[in-house]
Amino acid sequence: MNLRDLTYFDALATLKNYTAVAQRFHVSQPTITYAIKRLEIELDTQLLLRDRSHRQIELTTNGQQFEQHVALILHELKLARTEITASRQQKVKFGLPPIIGTYYFPKLAQRLAQHGLISHLNTLEAGSSTLLQQLRTGEVDLALLGSTTPLTDQLIAAEILYQQPFKIIVSPEHPLAQAGKVAFTQLANENFVTLKEGFVHPAALRQLAQPAGFTPNVVYTTPDISVLKSMVAENIGIGFLTALAISPADNVIALELADVKPPQFLISLAYRKNQVQSALQQKLITQLQQPLKA
Amino acid sequence: MNLRDLTYFDALATLKNYTAVAQRFHVSQPTITYAIKRLEIELDTQLLLRDRSHRQIELTTNGQQFEQHVALILHELKLARTEITASRQQKVKFGLPPIIGTYYFPKLAQRLAQHGLISHLNTLEAGSSTLLQQLRTGEVDLALLGSTTPLTDQLIAAEILYQQPFKIIVSPEHPLAQAGKVAFTQLANENFVTLKEGFVHPAALRQLAQPAGFTPNVVYTTPDISVLKSMVAENIGIGFLTALAISPADNVIALELADVKPPQFLISLAYRKNQVQSALQQKLITQLQQPLKA
DNA sequence: CAACTGTGATAAAATATTTTTATATGAGCA
DNA sequence: TGCTCATATAAAAATATTTTATCACAGTTG
């Protein structure tokens, strides 16, 4: 069996047209016919129904079954190629979600710089869910990911590096400004300004709102944390944010959540379990795993 | 790139000897040399170190990396072939652990027989952990599995069909015979007769013993449930068994476990998530999912 | 309804790839 | 030094794939 034939079959499963597949790969149409025929002979089963009257091709059950595996095989092959190509440059493709990049990563950067590792990073900014997917496809080799629960995944190893509670932030003029802590249920009648950020903040908010039994009244949503903070400072609403991203200079008051189990913002280091790690990547992981000095 | 070359490479990664690989596949030795060379040229990287002095071959880092993917690709291909071959016979390879086969499956068998499904089963007996692995490799298409916690797996879909508590069984002469229920901590000084069965019973016992803070004193272990019961009946020790496998005729007394969360014996129906299901298999799943009449 | 169009199949020839045979090379070892 | 084990290489042979040219079929169109 031939990988090229599998590629043709895979394309045919999507395009459902021999001629189109031939053009896509810049080969003649009989090439595709013969490729499929070879597969059908080798597997001793019909993979496609050529319905000439409806001018359409359909996959048989076996064809669908086979296509499942073919898609996986081709994905794996692509991943292999990507990894090997990437290993040629002394670079690690490093995924960093914006919040972590802004508020957590700088604390690590100095140590990485000392070990001469920074210049080998090829940093990609994206949301945590996107990055998880990109780890799988090999677009990213190593990533810091934000989440509210520990990440478990069959293909991706992840270990928690750091965690911070989520907090409520309010304007200094807000009635709750002196309260120090609040239970989420107390906030049923408040207006919220929220972050449009990936899936972590919304997920944490849902995690709180569900047992509290109300849907927060969101008056404004922004992807930008400093915008969020200034909206809160001007008392347009109250905010919900990782403690990590709150600093004394922000002109907002942070309130602890008094609920039984307030959600935590977890930062994990993640990579493909089955990737054979380059010396560079290993050094990087070791450094990132070192606990931060308080 | 050629699947045959990948096969050769995969074998070479294990055998570490070109000549041996050639013999294994009944081809000449240069065939292997050229196959590896083709891969190295196509991937533009060295995959092997030919250390002539130590008469040994080593994989380079890239070679190891590549081998990871190759192993997956070849596994997937084999799975595809197995599934297609299996679909030719109108048979479903059905995995059934002994306990479930003896005590649960008979309740379902009549209904399956009514729908003419029994004759299409190719039943394999094995422990639940073995069967889970065989589901993955395609040796089994559908299985009933026993477990103490719900099964979650990236590749295998599993849904709980039935559950039964674990119980303590004692001889009618045993001091606890009239107790009706016991807390596991009360059993610290008892002798136990246990089942050698796969992983489910031992796992459940561990789950109980850990919080209770003692290791049960096991005086005898058997793979056979009826042996277990008669040992208990003769008061050689007390037993620990799924309620499913206990019947009034057994001459043993079943005691409920009074602990907060006594482990349950769960029976789940499991199959590969990405398998395209034959009509036969679908019918079978539908029938197995019907709840049992009480 | 005859010609036309889009789509896939087939035969034979042309090309490309893989495998073999025969032989070389290189390192350790007796 | 010569022998053995193990891999590499060149050239020829054997296979496999692709192309060109053409056919066949079912709709569609003028």
Q: What are phi and psi of A38, to 5 degrees?
A: -60, -45
User: Is the pLDDT score of A294 beyond 60?
Assistant: no
Distances (CA, A) of B175 to B183, B198, B238, B249: 15, 30, 11, 20
Distance CA A78, CA A189 (A): 52
CB < 8 Å to B62, chain A = 84, 87
* A146 φ, ψ (degrees, to nearest 5): -95, 145
State the pairing for strand pair A156-170/A181-182: unpaired
Rounded to a whole number of angstroms, the distance from the CA of B1 to the nearest CA of chain A is: 6
Q: Which chain A residues are within 8 Å of B83, Cβ to Cβ?
A: 65, 69
| Token pair recorded at residue B171 | 């001889």
Q: What is the pLDDT of residues A25-61, one digit of tens each?
A: 999 999 999 999 999 999 999 999 987 665 788 999 9
Contact at 8 Å (CB) between A38 and A32?
no
Shortest Cα distance, chain A CAs vs residue B73, angstroms: 5
Please report, rounded to a whole number, the percentage of residues in chain A having pLDDT higher than 90.
Answer: 57
**CA–CA dist A88, A78 (Å, integer):** 16
Q: Tokens at residue B262, please?
A: 């006594």
Give the Cα-Cα-Cα angle A133, A138, A140 (nearest 5 degrees): 75
* Least confident among A181-185, A208-212, B102-106, B182-186: A208-212
Question: In this predicted structure, what is the pLDDT of residue A123?
Answer: 93
Which secondary structure element, helix H or strand E, spans residue A3, and what is its range?
helix A3-15
Contact yes or no for B196/B259 (Cβ under 8 A): no
pLDDT of residue A293: 66
Is the pTM of the predicted complex or chain greater than 0.85?
A: no
Helix axes A61-88, A3-15, angle to 10 degrees: 120
Report the distance separating Cα A276 and Cα B42, nearest Å.
20
Chain A residues with CB under 8 Å of a chain B CB are 1-3, 43-45, 61-62, 64-66, 68-70, 72-73, 76-77, 79-81, 83-84, 87-88, 153-155, 274-276, 278
| Whether A37 CB is under 7 Å from strand D | no
Task: Using alpha carbons, select from B131, B156, B124, B162 the residue that is nearest to residue B145.
Answer: B131
Confidence category of residue A226, pLDDT binned at 50, 70, 90: confident
> Residue B52 has what pLDDT?
61
pLDDT digits (tens, 9 = 90+) for B246-268: 988 888 999 999 877 788 999 99
For B9 and C29, how far is CA from C1' in angstroms?
Answer: 30
Residue B78 backbone dihedrals phi, psi, to 5 degrees = -65, -40
A67 HSE (CA, 13 A, CB side): 20
> pLDDT tens per residue, chain B (294 residues)?
999 999 999 999 999 999 999 999 999 999 999 999 999 999 999 999 887 665 788 899 899 999 999 999 999 999 999 999 988 888 899 999 989 999 999 989 988 998 989 989 999 998 898 999 999 989 999 999 999 999 998 899 999 999 999 999 999 999 998 988 899 888 988 999 998 877 788 888 888 888 888 888 889 988 888 889 999 999 999 999 999 999 888 889 999 998 777 889 999 999 999 888 888 899 999 999 988 765
Q: Separation of CA B29 and C1' D10 in angstroms?
A: 15
Nearest protein residue by Cα to C1' of nucleotide C25: B52
Chain B residues whose beta carbon lies within 8 Å of the beta carbon of residue A1: 3, 77
pLDDT of residue B54: 57
Q: What letter does residue A260 receive in the DSSP assignment?
A: S
Q: State the Cα–Cα distance between residues B13 and B74, nearest whole angstrom.
A: 13
**What per-residue confidence (pLDDT) applies to A143?**
96
Question: Sign of the C-alpha dihedral, residues A189, A195, A201, A203?
Answer: positive
First and final CA of chain A: distance in angstroms?
58
Give Cβ neighbours of residue B113 (< 8 Å, ≥ 6 apart): none
Chain position carrying tokens 């049923």: A188
Per-residue three-class SS string for chain B: CEHHHHHHHHHHHHHCCHHHHHHHCCCCHHHHHHHHHHHHHHHCCCCEEEECCCCEEEECHHHHHHHHHHHHHHHHHHHHHHHHHHHHCCCEEEEECHHHHHHCHHHHHHHHHHCCCHHHEEEEECCHHHHHHHHHHCCCCEEEEEECCCCCCCCEEEEEEEEEEEEEEECCCCHHHHCCEECHHHHCCCEEEEECCCCHHHHHHHHHHHHHCCCCEEEEEECCHHHHHHHHHCCCCEEEEEHHHCCHHHCCEEEEECCCCCCEEEEEEEEECCCCCCHHHHHHHHHHHCCCCC
Residue B198 buriedness (CB in 10 A; 0-12 / 13-18 / 19+): buried
Helix or strand or coil: residue A159?
strand
Q: How far is A203 from chain B (nearest CA, A)?
A: 22
Do residue A84 and residue B43 have CB atoms under 8 angstroms apart? yes
pLDDT of residue A277: 86
Q: All domains of chain B, ordered by start, with CATH?
A: 3-87 (1.10.10.10), 89-162+266-288 (3.40.190.10), 163-264 (3.40.190.10)
- Percent above pLDDT 70 for chain A: 98
Q: How many CB atoms lie within 10 A of CB B234?
A: 13
Protein-contacted bases of chain D (C-beta within 7 A): 5-11, 16-21, 25-27
The C-alpha torsion from A74 through A79 and B18 to A7, rounded to 10°, is: 20
Is the CB of residue B29 inside 7 Å of nucleic acid strand D? yes
